[in-house]
Amino acid sequence: MKYFNELIIGLFVMAVAGCAANGPAKLPPQTGLGAGEASVLVDAYKMDVGDIVQITVWKNPDLSVQEPIRPDGMVAVPLVGDIMAAGIGPEELAAKIEKQLSNYVKNPNVTVILTSLEGHQFLSRVRITGSVGQNTALNYHQGMTVLDAVLGAGSVTLYADPNRTKLYRRSEQGTESYDIRLKDILENGDMTTNVYLMPGDIITVPERSF
Enumerate residues 6+ apart whose C-beta is below 8 A from 169.
Answer: 28, 175, 176, 177, 178, 198, 200, 201, 202
- Give backbone dihedrals phi and psi of 164, rounded to 5 degrees, phi first: -105, 15
Output the CA torsion sign for 58, 124, 153, 203. negative
Which tens digit of pLDDT belongs to each residue from 61-101?
Answer: 999 999 999 988 899 999 999 999 999 999 999 999 999 99
Which tens digit of pLDDT belongs to each residue from 181-201?
Answer: 999 999 999 999 999 998 889
Q: Which residues of the chain have pLDDT under 70?
A: 1-23, 30-44, 119-123, 210
Check residue 27 and give its pLDDT.
78
Check residue 171 and give its pLDDT.
76
- Give backbone dihedrals phi and psi of 91, rounded to 5 degrees, phi first: -65, -40
Check residue 173 and give its pLDDT.
78
Check residue 123 and give its pLDDT.
62
pTM of the model: 0.53
Check residue 2 and give its pLDDT.
46
End-to-end CA separation in angstroms for the chain:
30
Task: Report the distance separating Cα 185 and Cα 54, nearest Å.
Answer: 32
Task: Report the distance separating Cα 185 and Cα 118, nearest Å.
Answer: 29
